[in-house]
Amino acid sequence: MSKNFETTAIRDQLTRTENMEHSVPLYLTSGFVFEDAEEMRASFAEEKQRDLYSRYSNPNTNEFVSKICKLEGAEDGFAFATGMAAVYSTFAALLDAGDHIVSCRSVFGATHGLFTKYFPKWNIETSYFKIDAVTEVEKLIQPNTKFIYAESPTNPGVDVLDLELLSRIAKKHNILLIIDNCFATPYLQNPIKFGADLVIHSATKLIDGQGRVLGGVTVGKKELIREIYLFSRLTGPAMSPFNAWVLSKSLETLAVRADRQCENALKLAEFLEGHPKVNLVKYPFLKSHPQYEIAKKQMRAGGTIVAFEVKGGTDAGRKFFDSIKMCSLSANLGDSRTIVTHPTSTTHAKLGTGDKLAVGITDGMVRCSVGLEHIDDIIADIDQALM
């Protein structure tokens, strides 16, 4: 019987050792030993599935990957040191020189950097579609297109893409659909259910949830994960056992944290919507959000990120950040502490003005990652900074 999300996140753990521990131990070991020559040979020949060396696999990373696979409805997966290691290794394992990518224009800054700075070295070009023009995607597909890539909700604009529609287009053209599901987490949205072939997470964000460790994971179809695994065995981007141990325990509380953080985020978004110093508020579960209906269809709640625009441009933006008393000025997100970020001068500073405006990043835009403090205190801090 398949269990509910919360139960799987807590109870899907490694088998107890003879010590009968209740909490899974940390396996700080780089290698594993063999009973005899035959077992050693068979293990390296992969006739026998077992841990050999922690660059390939480790009990703690296995447990973390197994949980994410079950929570995302995926066949298999591999865990990485960071979210970007997951993004890069997934691309590098699957792409050949001369391939083409169709991507949403609004993607994480570092991912955009791979597309523009490094992939052209291997003659891999990327074409972009706008968030409000998913119907244009088909026109961008070429004979050498390998996959469609997108994030939903997007960073920092919290726009929402119709995953089912993207998957229909990908299937029609016999290409893959790869979704960076970081902003939603496996709790709020499962892209595989809507037809995605691979799902990528930066576990650094809401999966850890307390701003402690870095991590990444790619899950999806077995044969694709096999390619990603073989590439990663050689290139070495594996997640450390310690981080896997932390993240696996973080998953036990993901549902309760996400529930409260989404509730806080919706309350903050509703408060800001009527605020005289605010131009625009974007939150997937606000009725005014352009893709509200799609968000409702594919997400359990609206997520923990609220984007809004302070009236008065750059100067008003700076004054807002300088007036914040409690919330953290930081570039991270998904933390139990509420964080306010100025995308135009930080995470997305490398984008040109045209690119920024194309993805909705204005000078006065604030990205707020809503935390677990009492909502009244969060609202009070943001309200006084807007005055």
Ligand X SMILES: *Cc1c(COP(=O)(O)O)cnc(C)c1O
Query: Which C-beta is closer to ligand X: that of 54 or that of 204?
Result: 204
CB of 182 to ligand X, least distance (A): 4
Q: What is the per-residue DSSP string for 294-348?
A: HHHHH-SS--SEEEEEETTHHHHHHHHHHH-SSSEE-S--S-SS-EEE-GGGTTT
- Give the pair of three-digit tokens for residue 228: 């990603």
- Number of residues in the chain: 387
Q: How far apart are CA 261 and CA 372, in angstroms?
A: 6
CB of 303 to ligand X, least distance (A): 11
CB of 86 to ligand X, least distance (A): 8
Would you count residue 214 as binding ligand X (CB under 6 A)?
yes
Would you count residue 126 as binding ligand X (CB under 6 A)?
no
Stretch in the footprint of ligand X (CB under 6 A) among 29-37, 175-183, 296-304, 305-313: 175-183
> Which of 182, 188, 207, 272: binder of ligand X (CB under 6 A)?
182
The interaxial angle of helices 313-323 and 375-386, nearest 10 deg, is: 130
Region 58-117 residues binding ligand X, contact defined as CB under 6 A? 82-84, 87, 108
Q: Are 220 and 181 in contact (CB under 8 A)?
A: no
Region 154-173 residues binding ligand X, contact defined as CB under 6 A? 155
CB of 144 to ligand X, least distance (A): 25
In 63-173 the beta strands, taken as DSSP E runs, fall at 76-80, 100-104, 125-129, 145-151
| Number of chain residues interacting with ligand X (CB under 6 A) | 15
Region 216-245 residues binding ligand X, contact defined as CB under 6 A? 216
Stretch in the footprint of ligand X (CB under 6 A) among 12-20, 29-37, 177-185, 268-276: 177-185
The b/e string for 266-277 (b: 16+ C-beta within 10 A; e otherwise) is bbbbebbbeeeb
Amino acid at position 227, single letter: E
Would you count residue 204 as binding ligand X (CB under 6 A)?
yes
User: Which parts of this chain interact with ligand X (CB under 6 A)?
Assistant: 82-84, 87, 108, 151, 155, 180, 182-183, 202, 204-205, 214, 216
